Structure 1
């Protein structure tokens, strides 16, 4: 990421924030772990900043705490009634917040909106080897990535690794295991957009972040 971009973001201490959400909900580690399908030790390590959550783990934590991803990542929640047709959210460069996960640094856009049909995120790829990931990342929906700078290697569950240079893009099924590794001298910078799938169980698949899926086509949260 260029120095100007890096200096414009505020890094979030995710562990203490997660602990605060859990305690505010009156839930124990064991309760959240059971609802999220994660080990108690995993959540404890994340809360104490000894482990960085991957994207799929963030989705599971949101489900365990019964919050949307926006709330989980530190923005104040808004009620759906506050989101009329024609809504808009502008993300200024100086307002972006950085969420380091050990392998990526996420900088989400439009964090003041709830019930979004897609999740656009700027991501700096800090991982340099596949063994930096405890497992490949998987999540509901589909994913689109455009490489802004540097070069990444996309490792996929069913395909040989794909090298993507600046200006290249890829679109794939997010349920397929995947992980990005920077293969340039500098950290690679990508635009990542996740969207969900249609179906009656879309709300369940997306931890309730899409509660009223369209009956005809359309995307959703990944």
Structure 2
């Protein structure tokens, strides 16, 4: 199993000086859930949990979604380009 998201989560947690229990309480889960994600014994969190974690760590939700593999950077860039073209088209009409 790929541990990169778990390692990323552990790095975020440690950078904030928090332990697993503190993160878990704020996210509304048990501490063992956080530990299992960090050690790769559990898959990446779902998008709702990632939103909670991004708020706890004050980091980008979109970045967490990419890191977790729910979306790719290419998808984000493609969406942004589409939106930009739609705005430009709307401005010229």
TM-score range, shorter chain: 0.5 to 0.7
SS at match of 1:106: coil
Point out where structure 1 has 5 or more consecutive residues left out of the alignment. Answer: 1-10, 74-96, 111-119, 121-222
How many aligned positions are there? 74
| C-alpha displacement of 1:106 | 2.6
Which of 71, 74, 81 is the aligned partner of 1:106? Answer: 71
* Residue matched to 1:204: none
| C-alpha displacement of 1:66 | 2.9
* Residue matched to 1:180: none
2-structure distance, mates of 1:69, 1:36 = 14
Assess if the C-alpha contact under 8 Å between 1:99 and 1:107 holds in 2.
no
1:46 aligns with 2:37: yes
* Residue matched to 1:35: 26
| C-alpha displacement of 1:12 | 8.2
Assess if the C-alpha contact under 8 Å between 1:33 and 1:40 holds in 2.
yes
Kindly report structure 1 stretches of 4+ aligned residues shifted beyond 6 Å: none
2-structure distance, mates of 1:39, 1:67 = 22
| C-alpha displacement of 1:70 | 3.7
2-structure distance, mates of 1:15, 1:71 = 14
Point out where structure 2 has 5 or more consecutive residues left out of the alignment. Answer: 80-93
User: Aligned-pair RMSD on alpha carbons?
Assistant: 2.6
TM-score (norm 1): 0.29
2-structure distance, mates of 1:12, 1:40 = 18
TM-score (norm 2): 0.63
* Residue matched to 1:69: 61
